[in-house]
Amino acid sequence: MAVNNFDNLISWSDFMPVAVRPPGSNEDAEIIVKFPQSYDYSLGKKTAIITNLTVDIIMASPECWVLNSQAKNMDLLKHEQGHYDITALGAREFHAGLTGMSAANEEALKKKIRKLRDSVQAKINRANLNYDNQTNHGLKTPLQQTWNKEIDTAKKNPKGVVNDLP
């Protein structure tokens, strides 16, 4: 049972360079991070229980972009890393919630998994919105540094979760 790519460091090569921002965007870069899971389950007399669980943290690289001019700097990359790490914290929380999860049958188990995923994704979405709003997409250096420290602390704590962030 594993969470893969939790400590992955992103680089500008993970992003598609664009000459102009996509319509409706006012940012210099965007990262999309997903956390698909795979698992087996065993059926007992009255339960279905998750076994062989893996959660992968992956960048949806075709959807990740950066302005190909002066925007490509280390401060912006560190900010985008924060988005990755927020999702990584959520993926770890999702994994912890799935570990040992059981239900009366396969259908009930899948419903519990969807409910947990939706709950964790909502936390990730709120944290990413707060992160961008508080740091102004990384432009407010003191607040960005605060977030960097909080994210780092939460990641180093084996029980650190998204709700530990500002």
Residue 71 has pLDDT above 90, yes or no: no
CA-CA distance, 79 to 148, in Å (whole number)? 8
Assign 3-class secondary structure to 51-110: EEEEEECEECHHHCEEECCCCCCHHHHHHHHHHHHHHHHHHHHHHHHHCCCEECCHHHHH
Whether the CB-CB separation of 33 and 15 falls below 8 Å is answered with no
Task: Read off the pLDDT of residues 111-161 as tens digits, 9 standing for 90 and up.
Answer: 999 999 999 999 999 999 999 999 999 999 999 999 999 999 999 999 999
Task: Read off the pLDDT of residues 90-109 as tens digits, 9 standing for 90 and up.
Answer: 999 999 999 999 999 999 99
CA-CA distance, 124 to 162, in Å (whole number)? 7
pTM recorded for the entire structure: 0.95
The residue extents of the domains of the chain are 2-164
Quote the pLDDT of residue 1. 65
